[in-house]
Amino acid sequence: YFRSKHFAAAVEQIRLLPEDDQRTESAQSLLANCLGELGEVEEQLAIYQRLAPMAKDPLAYNLRIGLALRTLGRFKEAAAAFRAVLA
């Protein structure tokens, strides 16, 4: 669904997964990406913020956090997130 740009259907399918599967990093990351495409950037940001501290590669999430913050017009926070990626 994601590759075919059926983001709402992808979100629905993720939410139909068993709870343990929904909580995986890959499912949550995909969910966040889909939500962002649907304009649900606050929810997308919240997911990225939950994933970043426990991720193998937190820099990737920090970049996504910065992009989400920028989309929301929270430019100072976005700049701080981008600086964290570059540090």
Q: What is the pLDDT of residues 34-81, one digit of tens each?
A: 999 999 999 999 999 999 999 888 899 999 999 999 999 999 999 999
Least confident of 2-6, 11-15, 53-57, 81-85: 2-6
- In 3D, which of 68, 5, 1, 70 has the Cα closest to residue 15? 1
27, 21 Cβ separation under 8 angstroms? yes
User: What predicted TM-score, i.e. pTM, was given to this entire model?
Assistant: 0.89
46, 31 Cβ separation under 8 angstroms? no
36, 44 Cβ separation under 8 angstroms? yes
Q: How far apart are CA 78 and CA 66, in angstroms?
A: 4
Q: How far apart are CA 87 and CA 81, in angstroms?
A: 10
